[in-house]
A and B are shown apart, each in its own frame.
Chain A
């Protein structure tokens, strides 16, 4: 049987809470129960909608493609850039732009991974494939 969203959420919260119990063990204290019931938070946020969803219709990449269609954005790959997310400062907008650009690039270069990657993740794209979890400076 397929688990419900609440089931998934509860399992995830239990797993996260369980790892923090290592803290009490390290401090030589018995693990303390937490007041917050994860099942409560699971249902409380059911109506949440990601605020960036309205940028998700693929327009970003196609508009960007129109804007730069006459430019030669390629480096050494001989490819033509389909667009760029350079200059977008809002992180959610940037994420949506890069996802749309990546999809457009994959579609444009199905047999040429280097071209697809240069298109989606090259310096001209303004995108990086993933965010490295390096801690921040103070």
Chain B
């Protein structure tokens, strides 16, 4: 059987990156306790799956963008981002292997990318790129930048640095698309996008925030050096990133960003307590 086309005993597809992952040399990293090592493996394996899922999302955006006649200069960024995310999954798998873990995981079932058929293709694409590029990827940039800054120079820092550089491009792609499309919206489309912004921000709280660990991590100084940061810091950074980095440029475009955020926090309560 070809090990790269794997399924688990229940028949679910399994992402198996053992053959393609190249483990970084972590011999200079501090040795974690067994408990901390297990946490680090789980974290990097979760990232591996998440990056793979991100590739699917970026790839799904391409046909929608093409239907909307998005300019080619912007279009090419979508498959490039998908390709980046696939590489990130392999890089994360490499860290899993380097930590002594197994770079296999069952793939979660992704909901299909919303087509937003209630509006035209460009407005529908705008909603998705707003959620993926301007929100998710910008938050990712903040979180990964903090993790990167905490690492001492070495192979893991280098690896995270290459991932960070790509995520910065993905976020920039999102903001570039927003800057090109938002001025084309008429008043009705702008009002609908304003309403969607609250939905998308609430979705961030509901689906990104719970991923940031609330459980106490083992008290092991090796963990930050293995790219695992404290959940409390990450959660605080999430809120500050939304309020300090994401809302102001949205307001600059004429959206009631503060109103959308307040509405999102109301919807996503009690999670929205910081």
Q: B-contacting residues of A (Cβ < 8 Å)?
A: 3, 5, 7-9, 11-27, 32, 34-36, 38, 41-42, 45, 48-53, 55-57, 75-77, 90-92, 94-96, 99-100, 102-103, 106-107, 113-114, 117-118, 121-123, 128-138
Most buried by B among A15, A52, A102, A114: A15
Our pick among B106, B132, B141, B146 for the contact of A133 (Cβ within 8 Å) is B132
A15/B141 contact (C-beta < 8 A), A95-B210, A136-B200 known: yes
Can you identify 12 A-B contacts, CB atoms within 8 angstroms? A5-B233, A12-B237, A13-B237, A17-B245, A26-B178, A34-B244, A34-B248, A55-B215, A75-B10, A95-B210, A136-B200, A138-B127
Contact between chains at A50 and B232 (CB < 8 Å): yes
Contact between chains at A129 and B179 (CB < 8 Å): no
For residue B220, which residues in chain A have a CB less than 8 angstroms away from its CB? none
Interface of B is mostly: helix
Contact between chains at A138 and B116 (CB < 8 Å): yes
Contact between chains at A26 and B175 (CB < 8 Å): yes
Residue B252 at the chain A interface, CB threshold 8 Å: yes
A26/B176 contact (C-beta < 8 A), A12-B149, A114-B8, A117-B8 known: yes
Contact between chains at B178 and A23 (CB < 8 Å): yes
Bound-state CA distance A106–B241 (Å) is 33
A134/B113 contact (C-beta < 8 A), A92-B214, A95-B211, A118-B9 known: yes
Bound-state CA distance A21–B270 (Å) is 32
Which residue from chain A places its CB closest to the CB of B242 in the assembled complex? A16
Contact between chains at A8 and B233 (CB < 8 Å): yes
Residue B207 at the chain A interface, CB threshold 8 Å: yes
Bound-state CA distance A12–B131 (Å) is 20
Contact with A along B19-54 (1 / 0, CB 8 A): 000000000000000000011001001110110011
Which residue from chain A places its CB closest to the CB of B105 in the assembled complex? A129
Could you tell me the distance in whole angstroms from the C-beta of B194 to the nearest C-beta in chain A?
A: 11
Contact between chains at A50 and B245 (CB < 8 Å): no
A8/B146 contact (C-beta < 8 A), A102-B42, A133-B54 known: yes
For residue B187, which residues in chain A have a CB less than 8 angstroms away from its CB? none
Which residue from chain B places its CB closest to the CB of A14 in the assembled complex? B145
Contact between chains at B118 and A138 (CB < 8 Å): yes
Q: Which residues of B90-145 have CB atoms within 8 Å of chain A's CB atoms?
A: 102, 104-106, 108, 110-114, 116, 118, 127-128, 130-132, 134, 136-139, 141-143, 145
Q: 5 closest A-B pairs (Cβ-Cβ)? A: A26-B179, A135-B131, A16-B245, A52-B214, A76-B9
Could you tell me the distance in whole angstroms from the C-beta of A119 to the nearest C-beta in chain B?
A: 12
Which residue from chain A places its CB closest to the CB of B111 in the assembled complex? A134
For residue A7, which residues in chain B have a CB less than 8 angstroms away from its CB? 149
Contact between chains at B214 and A24 (CB < 8 Å): no
Residue B246 at the chain A interface, CB threshold 8 Å: yes
Bound-state CA distance A72–B237 (Å) is 42
Contact between chains at B172 and A51 (CB < 8 Å): no
